Amino acid sequence: MVCGRPTRPRRCSVVDSSSPSRASDAGRRAESASTDERGYWYPAPDETSPSPTALLEELRRYQESGVRMRARIRSDMDMGEKDLLALRHLLSASSAGRVLRQRDLAERLDLRGASVSALVDRLVRDGYATRTPHPEDRRSIAVVPTARGDQEVRRTLHDVHDRMYEVAAALSPADRSVITDFLRRMNHDVDRP
């Protein structure tokens, strides 16, 4: 048997080894199928209308675009991925009127104590955050984003976020509702063990 991908048994074809030309033809078809990006995980899309496969492929491409965007931002801000995520959590909490402790960041980023301490040290050293007494728990230290951290993120992300917002705002309320529901369900299913 020659298969395009082990996870795709329906792409397999039986090769008649008694006929070299049939074996090489089947091998070329399998190789072509294995290198074709479309339909790697899902059946090839129906070109006449958007299919579940086309939707999932666009979602995958969007995720890849997000990875490239975050890499550009990390490069522009000279930060590691976890540092940027930590700053995002700090800014989000701050805009909601909350403060985070180092242990809160450790939980959100799935880091151990020493690693999150080093991360916060870097954010403080680079002027993106400060350590202050926690307003509600005198035994804890809060990590608070600085105005510089907020300005740097806004400066770096302004254009990208504006373009993303324009695309979302151009949708009808009904379309936004359907897409939001779809993404919530996908997030739930992807996060499920």
The residue extents of the domains of the chain are 1-36, 71-154
Q: Token pair for residue 19?
A: 């006929």
5 sits in the region (left: phi over 0; alpha: psi -120 to 50; else beta) called: beta
- Tell me the CA distances in angstroms from 56 to 59, 62, 191, one per residue in order: 5, 10, 16
Strand order in the sheet with 129-133: 100-101, 141-145, 129-133
For 112, the 3-state DSSP assignment is coil
Please give the chain's pLDDT, 193 residues, in tens: 334 433 433 333 333 444 444 444 444 444 444 334 555 666 665 566 678 888 889 999 999 998 898 888 888 888 888 998 999 999 999 999 999 999 999 999 999 888 999 999 999 999 999 999 998 888 889 999 999 989 988 888 888 889 999 999 999 999 999 999 999 999 999 888 8
pLDDT at 69: 86
Collect all residues with Cβ–Cβ distance below 8 Å to 102 and sequence separation of at least 6.
113, 116, 117, 120, 141, 143
Can you point out the beta strands (E) in 139-188? 141-145
- Residue 13, SS3? strand
For residue 105, what pLDDT is reported?
A: 93
For residue 141, list its beta bridge partners.
133
Give pLDDT, residue 171: 96
Q: Sign of torsion, CA 173 175 176 182?
A: positive
Residue 6's nearest CA partner among 37, 32, 30, 29 is 30
CATH 1.10.10.10 fits 71-154, yes or no: yes
- Cα of first residue to Cα of last residue in the chain, in angstroms, is 33
Which bin fits 21, alpha (ψ -120 to 50), beta or left (φ > 0)?
alpha
Residue 28: predicted pLDDT: 42
